Amino acid sequence: MIAIALSAALGLASPVASSGELQGVDYFKEAQAIWRTFVPPSGQAETEQGELLRAVEKLRDEAMRNGNGNWDAGFEILLAYLEQHLADPQVYDGATLARTQSILVRLKDYENPLLDDAPFDELADRAVDYYRHYGSRPHARNPALHR
């Protein structure tokens, strides 16, 4: 699995125990590694894991720094991307899917910006889980996305 190889190359703990379950996950360090490796300084990422983290952080920044004052179709595209990838029952259990969906529904209420880091951190954790499950996968750029 590519995710395990990258974790080992970056000096991170093995993400999978012998039972196949994730153990001792240090999401923050893994998210940092994914960010450094797969998120470009500007524009869309070349990989799904990079684009997932980029989307989370774009949404976080818009809410926290701008109070969603610049909300436009680009942020809707980013939310849709998260919904598409973070609702995968092959990756997440039912409780995680329900929690993720509730966060995404809350983010859609852009007129009342979410000003708490914790839900954004949870979404970033889900991006790490996605990467751990699938490894690195190419991201198909969306020509309508300019954020």
Residue-level pLDDT at 25: 56
Q: Is residue 11 pLDDT above 50, yes or no?
A: no
Share of the chain above pLDDT 70, in %: 83
Q: Is residue 7 pLDDT above 60, yes or no?
A: no
What's the mean pLDDT in 23-44?
88
Residue-level pLDDT at 66: 97
Q: Is residue 135 pLDDT above 80, yes or no?
A: yes
Residue-level pLDDT at 19: 36
Helix%, strand%, coil% for the chain, nearest 5: 60, 5, 40
Q: Which of 95, 97, 82 is nearest to 127 (CA)?
A: 82
This prediction's pTM: 0.83
What's the mean pLDDT in 97-116?
98
Burial code (b: 16+ CB inside 10 Å, e: under 16) for 111-138 equals eebbeeeebbebbbbbbbbbbbbbbbee
pLDDT digits (tens, 9 = 90+) for 55-78: 999 999 999 999 999 999 999 999
116 or 17: which leads in pLDDT: 116
